[in-house]
Amino acid sequence: MKPRFKQSKEIKVGVVGYGGAFNMGRAHLQDMQRAGMTPRAVAEPDAARLAVAAKDFPGIQTFSSVTEMLAGSDVNLIVLITPHNTHAPLALQCLRAGRHVVCEKPFAITTAECDAMIAAAKKSGVMLSTYHNRHWDGSILKALEVVKSGVIGDVVRVECHMGGWGKPGDWWRSSKSISGGILYDWGVHVLEYTLQLVGSEVTEVTGFAKRGFWAAQSKWGKDTIEDEGFAVVRFKSSAWATLCISQIDANMKRGMVEVTGTKGTFLWEYDTHEIIVRDGDLTRVTKGRNPPTQWEKYYDNIAAHLTKGVPLVITPEWARRPIHILDLADRSASEGRTLKAKYG
Ligand SMILES: NC(=O)c1ccc[n+]([C@@H]2O[C@H](COP(=O)([O-])OP(=O)(O)OC[C@H]3O[C@@H](n4cnc5c(N)ncnc54)[C@H](O)[C@@H]3O)[C@@H](O)[C@H]2O)c1
């Protein structure tokens, strides 16, 4: 794709979804404004949230649906900040209308959706990316620095574990059909970390799921997310990774991600880390704080891509990779067998 704009301010942004859970619509528009782009429109069915958007960005165009926004606004980049099951249909609608698209994570729920989105972007000759802001989390930046330094040796295994014990909330994230399942919300972030750390293709995935413990107490009933989701990922390099996200684990393991190498381990929580290496009979532990996040790099890259043709960091093919793992893990858990990975 050739650069489309001479200057970043010509990138007129429309946001779809201006929800109140984390005020993500405002965060995206502010960040894009900082990167030089122009906030132009918001589409949101909830009138109260649309009023918040109009107050946050005086003069911004407001619409109650993406269909109205596509018909009534000259936005040329659309950002989707909506529940997970809407990402693929909304992206396809915007891509087919010839608009560039940034989709919040997860890119989509199934591999087939990712493939359809990538094909639609190619057909329309527009950009497609996913907001993997955590690609620039301080923790993964530090982990990559430590792995590249060789201090923990060759990466053998990456274990990601999150959650604890507690009833799923009433929000849409606890609905399996809307969110994709327990592994999708945070799992996509930690898998994206893992793919950076291992740097090798996935060959197969085995998934496990415990269902039904919380369902009777949840507003979502049978559609409640799994109590626990678990995946084992095998890489071509012979490394492997595990992902566990649980709401029934009263004794969740220490550390959000643990990278085991031939000479040592790098273990991190969101803000802190430990480097544990063997020195003869001694075990040396170095503790530290993770460097600051650099999330601003995401939209700096989008603006530079659309104005100067700088390569995209988060390509749609890259965004497809963690979704492929999640999709295989879900199907594997249902079918009770290991599934082979396929790269497009
Ligand atoms: N990258 C991050 O750090 C990060 C952080 C939080 C949320 N997210 C992601 O952002 C997305 C939204 O999450 P949230 O917490 O903001 O949810 P939310 O429930 O607060 O907001 C979603 C909004 O989308 C609106 N909406 C639903 N369907 C729509 C449609 N068809 N057209 C237009 N608007 C529609 C809803 O009315 C709601 O206001 C999810 O994909 C989530 O995973 C990412």
Tens digit of each residue's pLDDT (9 = 90 or more) over 6-65: 999 999 999 999 999 999 999 999 999 999 999 999 999 999 999 999 999 999 999 999
Structure confidence by residue, pLDDT tens digits, 175-188? 999 999 999 999 99
Closest Cα to atom 39, ligand 1: which residue? Answer: 19
Q: Specify whether the CB–CB gap between 208 and 229 falls below 8 A.
A: yes
Q: Quote the pLDDT of residue 280.
A: 86
- Which ligand 1 atom is at minimum distance from the Cα of 80? 11
Tokens of 15: 């946001």
Q: Specify whether the CB–CB gap between 326 and 176 falls below 8 A.
A: no
Would you list the DSSP string of 259-270?
A: EEESSEEEEE-S
Mean pLDDT of 152-159: 97
Ligand 1 pocket list (CB less than 6 A): 16-22, 24, 43-46, 49, 65-66, 81-84, 86, 90, 104-105, 131, 133, 185
Q: Is the peptide bond before 58 cis (omega within 30 degrees of 0)?
A: no
**Separation of 230 CA from ligand 1 center, angstroms?**
25
pTM above 0.85, yes or no: yes
Which ranges of the chain would DSSP assign to H, the alpha helix?
24-34, 47-56, 66-72, 87-96, 111-124, 138-149, 176-179, 187-198, 296-308, 316-335
**Which mutation among 49, 75, 81 tests ligand 1's pocket best, with the greatest number of atoms within 8 A of CB?**
81
Question: Would you put residue 186 in left (φ > 0), alpha (ψ -120 to 50) or beta?
Answer: alpha
Q: Specify whether the CB–CB gap between 117 and 174 falls below 8 A.
A: no
- The chain-wide mean pLDDT, for the chain, equals 97
pLDDT at residue 323 is higher than 60: yes
Report how far apart, in Å, the C-alpha atoms of 119 and of each of 62, 219, 240 are: 30, 37, 30
Mean pLDDT of 111-123: 98
More confident residue, 90 or 280: 90
Structure confidence by residue, pLDDT tens digits, 174-230? 999 999 999 999 999 999 999 999 999 999 999 999 999 999 999 999 999 999 999
CATH of the structural domain 8-133+296-313, one choice from 3.90.1280.10, 3.40.190.10, 3.40.50.720, 3.40.30.10: 3.40.50.720
- Which ligand 1 atom is at minimum distance from the Cα of 20? 20
* pLDDT-based confidence at residue 253 (cuts at 50, 70, 90): confident
Closest Cα to atom 19, ligand 1: which residue? Answer: 19
Tokens of 9: 């301010």
* pLDDT-based confidence at residue 109 (cuts at 50, 70, 90): very high
**Separation of 83 CA from ligand 1 center, angstroms?**
5
- Which ligand 1 atom is at minimum distance from the Cα of 66? 32
**Separation of 53 CA from ligand 1 center, angstroms?**
14
- Which ligand 1 atom is at minimum distance from the Cα of 172? 19
SS3 of residue 106 by DSSP: coil
Q: How far apart are CA 178 and CA 243, in angstroms?
A: 21
Domain ranges of the chain: 8-133+296-313, 135-293+324-340
Do strands 155-163 and 257-261 pair parallel, antiparallel, or not at all (unpaired)? antiparallel
**Separation of 173 CA from ligand 1 center, angstroms?**
10
CATH class of 135-293+324-340: alpha beta
Q: Quote the pLDDT of residue 2.
A: 60
pLDDT at residue 130 is higher than 60: yes
pLDDT at residue 3 is higher than 70: no
**Which mutation among 18, 75, 104 tests ligand 1's pocket best, with the greatest number of atoms within 8 A of CB?**
104
Mean pLDDT of 125-134: 98
Structure confidence by residue, pLDDT tens digits, 63-106? 999 999 999 999 999 999 999 999 999 999 999 999 999 999 99
* pLDDT-based confidence at residue 279 (cuts at 50, 70, 90): confident
**Separation of 41 CA from ligand 1 center, angstroms?**
16
